[in-house]
Amino acid sequence: MASASAGKVTISDLARRLGMSKASVSYALNGQPGVSESTRARVLALAGELGWYPSSSARALSHSRSDTVGIVLYRDPAQIGVETFYMSILAGIEGVFGVHGMNLMLRMVDPRTDSIERTRELAVYERWAGERRVDGMIIFDHVHQDPRPPLLQKFRMPHVRLGAGVEVGPAANNSNLTVSQDDDTATIVQALHARGHRRIAFVSGPLELLHEQAKSAGITAHAARLGMSVVLCPSDYSAHDGGTATIAVLAGLKPRTPDFPTAVIYGNDLMAVGGLQALQELGLAVPRQVSVVSWDDSMLCTLVSPAVAALARNVGEMGRNSAQMLLELMAGHEARNLQSAAGVLQLRGSLGSA
């Protein structure tokens, strides 16, 4: 008779080799009560020796779970590869889910194609939740009257809003990892004011996003409190558009005139690098004529010359915390809010006195 290891090993094979019932072997393999620790150890040892692995589909049916978590990003797939924020945050998320044997299902919806992509994005959430393809979801990039949380609540799908505003409270099946944009905007604006800057510019991400609205409002409010003026220009998070927005902000203006911004703040590192290149192409010295500050710190900020001053946040920790909060919800714990630590400004060569 061929050995069990010659083909796919089953629970029946393990039970026969060990002289146990299939039920006892199943309890041991799935960590359920009903068998002694010595028996569990024997079963696991033989399973490892024979190369037995559980069937994910059978396990999902027996537990009414998929052991999968879903994330949908409304981003250009080509841009994700160089946008360090998402790479770091996904690494933090995967680090937690990997330890717990959870799979991560990731879908990217390209916003550049046409206006119906938001509808297609919502359809992904509805299909995954309705068909129970995932046990929980982490959602990013929140907008006004966001349709995603109500849809997930309809399906009683546990979810975490990563990057929600501090004013958002937890709800059934919904925890929030919040970020205080007011704290972070104060850090940047006060640093510029202390160096003599009185007119500044902010090149933001898309203003449909609530966190970009909060950044713009915070910068404007803190600047007004300190007697500074601000010019706002939205962009799309790409290096190219960051450069284009920089040129638009400075078009027709001359250094040392009242309307000329002596510092430009960028909503992410890619736009800051693109903006730095645009300033250099315009013949403007950084930081002697214009200072540059990035919202997100990354290796990109240190690879250019001069190195870009940036607001550093522990993005990997944000990913780990959001994953842990989702696991808690999936295990039946109460929803909660957790505020992310404020950013710390990294002082580098691009930041100087006005």
Q: What is the CATH number of the domain that holds 45?
A: 1.10.260.40
Do 307 and 319 lie in one domain? The reply is: no
Do 154 and 261 lie in one domain? The reply is: no
For residue 346, the cross-strand partners are: 310
Burial of 331: CB neighbours in 10 Å, binned 0-12, 13-18, 19+: exposed
pLDDT, one tens digit per residue, over 108-144 is: 887 765 455 677 788 889 889 888 889 999 999 999 8
- For the cut 70, the answer to whether the pLDDT of residue 54 exceeds it is no
Domain-located, residue 61: no
Q: What is the CATH number of the domain that holds 80?
A: 3.40.50.2300
Do 100 and 118 lie in one domain? The reply is: yes
- For the cut 90, the answer to whether the pLDDT of residue 265 exceeds it is yes
Do 197 and 165 lie in one domain? The reply is: no
Looking at residue 117, what is its pLDDT?
60
- For the cut 90, the answer to whether the pLDDT of residue 251 exceeds it is no
- For the cut 50, the answer to whether the pLDDT of residue 350 exceeds it is yes
Do 21 and 50 lie in one domain? The reply is: yes
Percentage of the chain lying above the pLDDT 70 cut: 91
Looking at residue 90, what is its pLDDT?
93
Judge whether 201 and 263 are in contact, CB under 8 Å.
yes
Domain-located, residue 348: no
CA–CA distance, 319 with 321 (Å, rounded to integer): 6
Domain-located, residue 203: yes
145 Ramachandran zone, left/alpha/beta (phi>0; psi -120 to 50): left
Looking at residue 248, what is its pLDDT?
94
Domain residues for 231? 184-312
pLDDT, one tens digit per residue, over 73-93 is: 877 777 777 778 888 999 999
Cβ neighbours of 198 (radius 10 Å): 16
Do 152 and 81 lie in one domain? The reply is: yes
Domain-located, residue 59: no
**Pairing state of beta strands 337-339 and 159-165?**
unpaired
Looking at residue 37, what is its pLDDT?
85
Looking at residue 31, what is its pLDDT?
66
Judge whether 106 and 134 are in contact, CB under 8 Å.
no
Judge whether 202 and 233 are in contact, CB under 8 Å.
yes
pLDDT, one tens digit per residue, over 6-46 is: 456 788 888 899 998 888 887 787 666 677 888 888 888 88
Judge whether 69 and 136 are in contact, CB under 8 Å.
yes
Q: What is the mean pLDDT of residues 303-331?
A: 95
Angle subtended at Cα 32 by Cα 31 and Cα 33, rounded to the nearest 5 degrees: 125
Domain-located, residue 79: yes
Of the CA atoms within 13 Å of residue 153, those in its CB half-sphere come to 12
Do 301 and 217 lie in one domain? The reply is: yes
The least confident of 24-28, 96-100, 237-241, 266-270 is 24-28
Do 149 and 237 lie in one domain? The reply is: no
Looking at residue 61, what is its pLDDT?
46
Buried b or exposed e, range 91-120, using 16+ CB within 10 angstroms: ebbbebbeeeebebeeebbbbeeeeeeeee
The least confident of 247-251, 255-259, 267-271 is 255-259
- Which string of DSSP letters, residue by residue, matches 97-158? HHHTT-EEEEEE--TTS-TTHHHHHHHHHHHHHHTT--SEEEE-S-BTT-SHHHHHHHTT--
Do 89 and 196 lie in one domain? The reply is: no
| Residues 6+ away with beta carbon under 8 Å from 74 | 109, 111, 117, 118, 121, 140, 141
Looking at residue 75, what is its pLDDT?
78
Average per-residue pLDDT in the chain?
88
Domain-located, residue 349: no
CA–CA distance, 79 with 138 (Å, rounded to integer): 20
pLDDT, one tens digit per residue, over 193-247 is: 999 999 999 999 999 999 999 999 999 999 999 999 999 999 989 999 999 999 9
Do 304 and 337 lie in one domain? The reply is: no
Do 92 and 152 lie in one domain? The reply is: yes
The least confident of 42-51, 194-203, 290-299 is 42-51
- For the cut 90, the answer to whether the pLDDT of residue 249 exceeds it is yes
CA–CA distance, 85 with 206 (Å, rounded to integer): 16
Estimate to the nearest angstrom the gap between the alpha carbon of 209 and the chain centroid.
Answer: 14
| Residues 6+ away with beta carbon under 8 Å from 341 | 313, 314, 317
Q: What is the mean pLDDT of residues 165-190?
A: 94
pLDDT, one tens digit per residue, over 187-207 is: 999 999 999 999 999 999 999
- Nearest CA-CA partner of 176 in 210, 204, 205: 210
* Band of residue 320 on the pLDDT scale cut at 50, 70, 90: very high
Query: How many structural domains compose the chain?
Result: 3
The least confident of 60-64, 70-74, 218-222, 328-332 is 60-64
Domain-located, residue 125: yes
Do 300 and 233 lie in one domain? The reply is: yes
Looking at residue 1, what is its pLDDT?
36
Domain-located, residue 151: yes
CA–CA distance, 193 with 245 (Å, rounded to integer): 23
Q: What is the mean pLDDT of residues 320-332?
A: 94
